[in-house]
Structures are given as structure tokens and as C-alpha cells.
Amino acid sequence: MDNKDSEAEIHPLKTEDVKAQENHENSVERRIVSKQSSRLSRLSRWRTAAFFISLFLCLIIVFAFSFIIPCPERPVSERTWFRNYDNAVAYQFLAIEDVNEDKVQDVIFAFKASNSSSSFNRSCLDEGLPSPCAFVAAVSGTNGRALWERPAAEEIEWMECDIKQLGEAAVPGCLVVGKPVSLTTVALRTGEVLWRQSSDFGANYTVLTPVSVIPDVDSDGVQDLIIFITFIHSGKDGRQIGSAGSLNVDGKARYVILNLDSSSYFLFYTGTVLFVNSVCKSDYNSEIRITRQLSERSFCILKKTIIISLSLFSSGDIRYLAKIPGQSRENILVVNSEMATLINAQNLQTLWTLNTSRVVRYEPLLGYYKPDVLGIVLESEIGPNMKKSGSGAVQWDLKLNSRAKSPGPATLSTADHRSAFLIWGEYQLGTHGQLYLFHPSYTNVLLELRNSTDQIIAFNATLFERSRHACYVLLRGPPPSEEPGPVSLMKRKLKEDVSESRVIWLSQVAVDSEQYIRDRLYRMRFHSRV
């Protein structure tokens, strides 16, 4: 301190300069700190403003969607509806498709009458057809309102409604094979006729069922169709492509497509004969067609030479042929008058056989008795007016009394990866045709849902909305072989019948109360498989 005081006395001006410099440095530091504080303050204000603006925009969006922009209305489906026609006959055909694109399935069916319903007031003469004629109609799955009705043919021999590309616009539609032989396509959405063909297909023709959709053979931008075994037709306008083959058989034939060695083959049957048909495209006016008739005890896959030959069948008429999905591959099911045979589609080895000498209905039903394990349901006769339903290497069977021309069974996929089975029959003698519900979770329980004294022409069950709204559809009335009368189409929600059902114990042991069983099956959830 003494030194500093001495220096200050010796150099008074220097001391003042140092103090001035220190004051200046302190002032600069204060200004820097002040500027930094000002920037932080402005940044904080901007952040606060951005937060409140974002919050305000979110509130506006929520308000708009809640009160200003209306939410899409979900169709309210009626639990039960009816559609009635007078002085008509019904065809054994039901298709389930979303016709009006409201995400609810609709119903397509066919009937024969002189005029359509009063909703459209169409007559057979409008389409140049004699009266009465066959109409194709679509009704809404929500309330049974008629969406469209269209005269299609004098009589209907076959009909199919899941064809994705038809006509100039390549729109979804239905194909109607009429009698006398004619082809008519109808747009699925509007019911408008896309094209008609009434060429002479010969006295002996074979309808391929279901219709085979093949790639665009004539390069017109629309996939083509094999409707008859010996003809290919353009999906755009129905004209015949190329020349007819030499195969000459009668009736209807089912088929499967085998993909072997990067080539596709049609394997189809008529009567007691199996055929392999390979169609190769070079130029559509000069297509190469290979057709071979094969014995009833063997069939061959042909590619220039025979590469596979395997004895599969004993004697007996072949009644059904179909591809069956498997866990890792597809298999082929062949049903004849004596046995059902499941065959590996790749190596043609027999996987299993089942005696079908008394099968009631040769077209099998697919369902899931075990979780995610596909089963095949066949109905066989076990005595006069009695039938048995069972599947595969028999996992379960059910004995019911049966009437002539009773409807076939149906299945609905459930959320537990199994199926609910709907079966017509009579568990006790003296009752009329009853509809029963069976689910594998209760193997000793059968629910009696409803009875019907009317003649049922067609029956189907489906989920009218994705994974929900399980319903069944009944088409009742006189068939085409009888005199006209009232025709009725009905859709009914399955839960309505479950809540009022009667519980039948298949064994003497009742594990739970009847109301508990009804409640559990009423709350059963369903699942739409892809």
C-alpha cells in the first residue's frame, strides 16, 4: 500500500488514466451483458409467441373437425330386413359384394318375373327379351333397398359376380350364362349391361365353373375369360378369341390351375374323365392349344411330353375338383362318387382319403375347427333322410335328420382363429327345417337358431362389415321348375337369433347353464380373414 501511495504521489496523471481505463472496460462489459440480455429476452418472447400461435392453430383445427367439418356418417345397418317380389321364381344364386361402395356388403341375386319391382319399373321387353325373363338385382346390405335391377336372359344357367375387369372401362361386373346359350355382362356398381354375346356355341358345350380369368390374350387392355372349355372370350366385348378346340363334352366342369415348371395348366373334369389343357399364346389368331383326354384311373401333366403320371382314383364319377389352401402350399381336392382325396399340388402325392360313397353335397365347405388349421366339411348320408357333417380326418361329426333340397352349411371366421358353423337339418324328428349354430369352443353344445317352413332356394352367411356385423341371408320361394309365387330375400343379424336360441346338449353332461352359453356365444367376436 505504501508503494502504491508513493507511486500515486509521484505519477498522479497515470493513476487517473488507469482509473479511466478500468471504468471504460466496466462500461463495455455492462453494454455486452445488456445486449445479451436483450437478445435472450427477444428470443424468449418469440418462443412464447410461437407456442401460443401453435396452441391457437391446434384449437382451431380441433374446433373445425368437431363442429364445422362433418364426420363421415357410418351406415346404420338394420338388424333384419326383407325384400319381397310377387309372381316370380328364384334362382339358386347369392353373391355378396360391396355394390355401392359404402364399406357394407350388399346382396346380388336372380329371379324370374315379367317385370322388375316398382322401384325401377323395368320389363323384359326393355332388353329385347321375351316375358317372363330372368332379372339380376342388387339390394343394399344396410336396409334392403334395391340398388339396381336388370333383365339379363330368358333363363339363367350360371352366374358369377366377382370378375374384376369387364367392358370398355374394365370395371367389376357379373357374368350371366343364359339359356338359350348367351353371354351377358352387367356392371357391378350400376347394373348397366356392358356387352352381350349370343353366338352359336354348339349343341354340346361345357361351362367352366368358376369362370377362369386369364391374362390379356388379345392385348386390348382388359383381362380375358375362359367361359367354355373350348372357347376364350374377350373381357372387353365378349367376342371369341382364336378358334375353338376339338374337345367335345357336355355339362359343367370345375378346374384348378397347376403352376409347374414356370408353366400353367388347367386340370378339369367332366363326368368320369379328367383333362389337362394348356393354352399358349403366340398370336391370338393362331393360338396353340394342347388338349388330352385321360383315363379315369390316372391323369398326366403335359409339356410337349408326359412328365408326370400317377394313378389316383378308383372307378367312380368325378363330382368336384378344387384347390385347397395349405400352410405352406396349395393342395388339390378331388371328390368322386366313392371317396374324397387330397393331393399335394407339387408332387401329386395323396395326403389323405375319406369315404364319400354316400355324400349328400359334393361341394365341400372350408372352415377352422382348430385355430388356423383349415378343415374341410363334407355332408354324407347315414340313413334314410339323415345326414352327417364332418371334416377331414374326422375331427368332429354331427348327425341330423335331413329333408330333400335342404340348404348347405356355411361358416363365419371368429376372433379366436376358428369358425362358427351354421348347419341346416332336424335334430329331432317332427320339426321343420332348423338352422343350428356350432362353435368348437363348446363341442357338446348346439344352438337351435330358427326354423323355416318355406322352401329355401339359397343360403349364405357373411360379415357385412369388416370383422363385425355377422349375418345370414335367405332367398325363399318357388324354384324355376315350379309355378311362380312370392319370392322373399331376407337378411338377419346372427346375434338376434343367438339371444333367443334353444341350447341343445349333445352329451348328457351340462357343464354351464344355458343362459351362460347363450351369453358367451352372443358376445362372440368375428374376424375377416384376408
Encode pLDDT of 198-257 as tens digits: 876 666 677 877 888 877 878 888 888 888 766 788 899 888 886 655 454 555 667 777
CA distance 496 to 407: 21
C-alpha cell at 15: 493513476
pLDDT greater at residue 297 or residue 115:
115
Question: Which residues 6+ apart lie within 8 Å of 59 measured at CB?
Answer: none
pLDDT digits over 316-333, tens only?
Answer: 577 788 888 877 778 888
CA distance 153 to 135: 7
Count other Cβ atoms within 10 Å, centred on residue 6.
10
**Chain-centre distance for alpha carbon 63:** 39
Question: Which residues 6+ apart lie within 8 Å of 317 measured at CB?
Answer: 271, 272, 336, 337
CA distance 258 to 301: 9
Q: Is-contact 470 526, C-beta < 8 A?
A: yes
Q: Which of 431, 430, 433 is nearest to 404 (CA)?
A: 433
Half-sphere exposure (Cβ direction) of 131: Cα atoms closer than 13 Å: 10
**Chain-centre distance for alpha carbon 316:** 33
Confidence of residue 384 (pLDDT cuts 50, 70, 90): low
- Say which amino acid occupies 115: N
Q: Is-contact 181 205, C-beta < 8 A?
A: yes
Is 70 exceeded by the pLDDT of residue 282? no
* Range with the poorest average pLDDT among 27-41, 106-120, 134-148, 156-170: 27-41
CA distance 269 to 208: 10
Please give the pLDDT value at position 432: 67
CA distance 84 to 461: 20
Is 60 exceeded by the pLDDT of residue 289? no
Count other Cβ atoms within 10 Å, centred on residue 300.
15
Please give the pLDDT value at position 175: 95
Is 80 exceeded by the pLDDT of residue 274? no
Is 70 exceeded by the pLDDT of residue 288? no
Q: Which of 496, 518, 435, 449 is nearest to 78 (CA)?
A: 496
User: Residue 268 gets which letter from DSSP?
Assistant: E
Please give the pLDDT value at position 360: 76
Please give the pLDDT value at position 521: 93
Q: State percent of the chain over pLDDT 90.
A: 34
Please give the pLDDT value at position 437: 94
Q: Where are the beta strands (DSSP E) in 312-396?
A: 318-325, 330-336, 339-344, 350-355, 359-370, 373-383, 386-391
Q: Is-contact 87 485, C-beta < 8 A?
A: yes
Q: At what angle do helices 12-63 and 2-10 cross, to 10 degrees?
A: 110
User: Residue 129 gets which letter from DSSP?
Assistant: -
pTM: 0.78
Please give the pLDDT value at position 501: 92
pLDDT greater at residue 14 or residue 521:
521
Please give the pLDDT value at position 67: 66
Count other Cβ atoms within 10 Å, centred on residue 73.
7
Is 70 exceeded by the pLDDT of residue 71? no
Confidence of residue 522 (pLDDT cuts 50, 70, 90): very high
User: Residue 442 gets which letter from DSSP?
Assistant: S
Please give the pLDDT value at position 403: 73
Please give the pLDDT value at position 265: 66
- Taking all residues of the chain, what is their mean pLDDT, rounded to a whole number? 78
Question: Which residues 6+ apart lie within 8 Å of 464 measured at CB?
Answer: 77, 96, 104, 105, 141, 470, 471, 491
Is 70 exceeded by the pLDDT of residue 51? yes
Please give the pLDDT value at position 529: 82
Q: Is-contact 428 448, C-beta < 8 A?
A: no
pLDDT digits over 441-455, tens only?
Answer: 998 899 999 777 678
CA distance 351 to 359: 20
